[in-house]
Structure 1
Amino acid sequence: MNRIFRSFLDKFVVVFIDDILVYSRSLEDHCEDLRLVLEVLRERQLYAKLSKCEFWLSEVRFLGHVISTEGIVVDPTKVEAVIQWECPRTATEIRSFVGLEG
């Protein structure tokens, strides 16, 4: 996918494996950018499963982050377990916590 969308990457497209995110500064730009992406998919005879597509979102959860017009922040649901974790008191509990953190 990266090769297919090389000319669009970091301009208005982000690709991760088979996920394609299209972002734009304005609604008009977004319509055009989305049209270009869908055209490329059609030319390459690649098809998006409509039930997995989401359009015109102002906020997206992607790879552990929440991306919106306000910026990019860590997805709070991904760090909730760490925040709720009791403070480790023993060496075993510390190793367990560090193992969770990876």
Structure 2
Amino acid sequence: MASPFFFIKKDDGKNKYTLPLINELIDKVKGAKYITKLDVHWGYYNIQFRDGDEWKAAFRTNLGLFEPTIMFFGLCNVAATFQAFVDEIFKELIYQDHQELIIEVLKIMHEHHLYLKPQKCKFETQTVKYLGHIIRNGEVHMDPKKTLAIRDWPKPTNLKELQQFLGLGNWLCHFIKDYSLVVKSLMALTGKAVWDWSGEAN
């Protein structure tokens, strides 16, 4: 017997637009022959508040209260709003041929006054750095900088430092065989037991 459930409208007005999962994005692009990576200049700053909603992001300074006219980093809805905007303006382009697609993408960006950072863009490349991963020839590899970060990480001296290290490790766990076994002794130190960095933890 199933339990009844109800949809209840939340009062906080938070945008529930779903952000894409990084692993799913990587799976979609890893088999591509050519990849183009574009970096939107000023990202979130391209999104204007709807008239009358500026007060929702008001902030106080020593010069008084200010209401922004554009979105900025740190707002709870900014990532979802920007993703919804990008999905909406490019929805007609999914599954087109690569070169046709890039031309259309650039036209749409021009129409919506979105600008790119040329130094961060890659066009029709077979190797691309994407969200901390290297994608090339249908394979996904760990970014060597992340590997060095793990290798050179100083020995944790307290729980917080260990949690930071494990956070980086979790980001790359799908590249490490039997990751859960590798970090088992470290995970044991995140419990309520007294901190004791010795033995297997080393």
Task: Identify whether the pair has TM-score above 0.5, normalized to the shorter chain.
Answer: yes
Paired residue for 2:141?
73
- Name the amino acid aligned to 1:4: V
SS at match of 2:115: coil
Paired residue for 1:60?
128
The separation in 2 between residues aligned to 1:76 and 1:38, in whole angstroms, is 31
Within 5 Å, which residues of 2 pair with 1:7-22? 7=91, 11=94
Alpha-carbon offset, residue 84 of structure 1: 4.5
The separation in 2 between residues aligned to 1:71 and 1:8, in whole angstroms, is 28
CA offsets per residue over residues 22-65 of structure 1, 9 Å max, x none? xx8xxxx2101101111111221222243443222211112211
SS at match of 2:109: helix
CA offsets per residue over residues 49-91 of structure 1, 9 Å max, x none? 43443222211112211122322222122122323458x6xxx
Shift of the 79–96 alpha-carbon distance from structure 1 to 2, 3 Å rule, reads farther
Conserved? CA contact 2:129–2:143, under 8 Å = yes
| Structure of greater relative contact order (alpha carbons < 8 Å, 6+ residues apart) | 2
Larger radius of gyration: 2
Alpha-carbon offset, residue 95 of structure 1: 3.9
Residues 1:4 and 2:86 aligned together: yes
Shift of the 47–73 alpha-carbon distance from structure 1 to 2, 3 Å rule, reads same
- Name the amino acid aligned to 1:98: L
Residues 1:98 and 2:180 aligned together: no
Conserved? CA contact 2:126–2:137, under 8 Å = yes
The separation in 1 between residues aligned to 2:145 and 2:120, in whole angstroms, is 21
SS at match of 1:55: strand
Paired residue for 2:107?
39
Alpha-carbon offset, residue 4 of structure 1: 3.1
Of Structure 1 and Structure 2, which has the larger fraction of its residues in strand? 1
The separation in 2 between residues aligned to 1:82 and 1:52, in whole angstroms, is 25
Q: How many residues align?
A: 82
